[in-house]
Homo-oligomer: A and B are copies of this chain.
């Protein structure tokens, strides 16, 4: 049993298949999410069961009304000075099965971080070393009387990533120069400071490699960054590890998703090529991002060629303290204070946009997936059936004589058979690239609700402090510091929103063009085939 799901869109199951018709608003019991190709299995309230497109439903997360099956985890130790940075526990079991030896040996070495060193100076919004902030948190929480109360909902993402601790000035991190993130104001608004050394990276055709004298074989992808033009070899699980690090570290930046682990491709070769294209898309998105592209863990992944350095870099990344909400501590923003009211309306509009965009992406993804199936199934067969009609006609007429007409009819039959193959292959060139883009955006968009929640929580906390100050319960300098800190959170959101919009326009413009260009080539090929067969018919 994989929980329940709420139906977002109507879906009419094809009669006679195992597809389940579902109606918007209906609650389904999900029995399997492992059906593959974007389908889930489940049953409706009337007891009918079958498969349905995962994109048409949303899983219901039952955190509030249903007691958890396991006791709740201990509260994060973010309010204890000695251990302020949130530590995401390494899930060792996830890697034990198929991790290489050179990776596995250090998986269990993740230790609680130590937090002794202060960050370098400058006009810093960092809370490193602010005793007052630490006290505020400690004291107010301690006696339970203050107006600034800790949000006790332990499931809140805001709390989980240490965002509240940051606003309250309770988080401390050890950061190096390279950790610092800069946000600037340009004519285009608030943006990330661009990468001064932009680069790209090519993912080459993967190779099948083996180890343990051929006992284990795997696919290795060859990455060549323009940074140094040195090729590195990475496996999918390395990508997976990297992805987890990036998600952990950049709670404010949607990390591009990796391709799904299980995609069923009809042809081994086509599957590998598509996987390469999807990884190329991931690598390009990270390489192009002004912040992600410069992160230590990414550069390590992209450039390390030495096994020993690889191991130590991996350990370092897993011990990184500047992760989760702690990242706000290393963000450098413009001096200008932001208008909270304007922010409210901006983020609300953005939230609505994200929701609507997400729906559009799901709809398109589901429609396009369906279209691919249709072209590779019924459409192909329909063209073949037209071809077969002409062939039967030609064969019948050949009983009498082999005339120009019988040859022309046979040629027409061949032509429709060729068109059938074109039709089957075509999605690889138009629908699948669009599908890959949609996959990327579903991943990116899925991150925004949490990011918006972090921001909303920060603004709320700031208002609580402001109210508390007007009532004389909080000192004004505490409020000013909190306002500066929420501005940091807001600036990061604005910078990422701006970057996201710019990428969105670029991406959809480019992929829609590719889609249309390939559709044109496809239909033009059909025209050419038909013209060639038309020329076989002579005047009689």
Contacts and interface: CB of A to CB of B under 8 A. Distances in A.
A533 interface: yes
12 contacts: A14-B16, A15-B17, A349-B399, A357-B393, A364-B389, A371-B382, A371-B385, A405-B508, A408-B509, A520-B534, A523-B526, A527-B527
State the main secondary structure of chain A at its contact with B: helix
A396 B520 contact: no
A227 to B, nearest CB: 26
Given A353-B399, A409-B508, A364 B392 contact: yes
Contacts of A359: 392, 396
A412 B382 contact: no
A517 interface: yes
Nearest to A374: B382
A15 to B, nearest CB: 2
A512 B406 CA distance: 11
Interface string A374-396: 10001000100110111011011
**Residue of A353, A360, A409, A517 with most partner-chain B CB within 10 A:** A360
A78 B538 CA distance: 49
A453 to B, nearest CB: 20
Contacts of A512: 390, 405, 408-409, 412, 537
A232 interface: no
State the oligomeric state as a number of copies.
2
A367 interface: yes
A516 interface: yes
Contact of A385 (B353, B370, B403, B537): B370
Interface residues of A, number: 62
B393 A508 contact: yes
A506 B540 contact: yes
A501 interface: yes
Interface string A517-540: 101100110110011011001111
A389 B405 contact: no
A455 B230 CA distance: 87
A14 B378 CA distance: 12
A316 interface: no
A15 B13 CA distance: 12
B513 A399 contact: no
A393 B364 contact: yes
A400 interface: yes
Given A15-B15, A512-B408, A527-B527, A505 B403 contact: yes
Contact of A530 (B363, B516, B534): B516
Interface string A58-80: 00000000000000000000000
Contacts of A396: 353, 356-357, 359-360
B395 A371 contact: no
Interface string A336-375: 0000000000000100110011011101100110110010
Given A393-B508, A540-B506, A513 B527 contact: no
A524 B517 CA distance: 14
What are the 3 closest A-B residue pairs judged by CB atoms, nearest first? Answer: A15-B16, A364-B389, A360-B396
Contacts of A412: 512, 516
Given A357-B399, A405-B508, 15 more contacts: A353-B399, A359-B396, A364-B389, A368-B386, A368-B389, A370-B385, A371-B382, A371-B385, A390-B512, A403-B505, A408-B512, A506-B540, A516-B530, A519-B530, A523-B527
A72 B530 CA distance: 56
A113 interface: no
Interface string A187-201: 000000000000000
A352 B352 CA distance: 71
A538 to B, nearest CB: 8
A531 B521 CA distance: 10
A414 to B, nearest CB: 13
Contacts of A357: 393, 396-397, 399
A405 B505 contact: yes
Contacts of A513: 534, 537
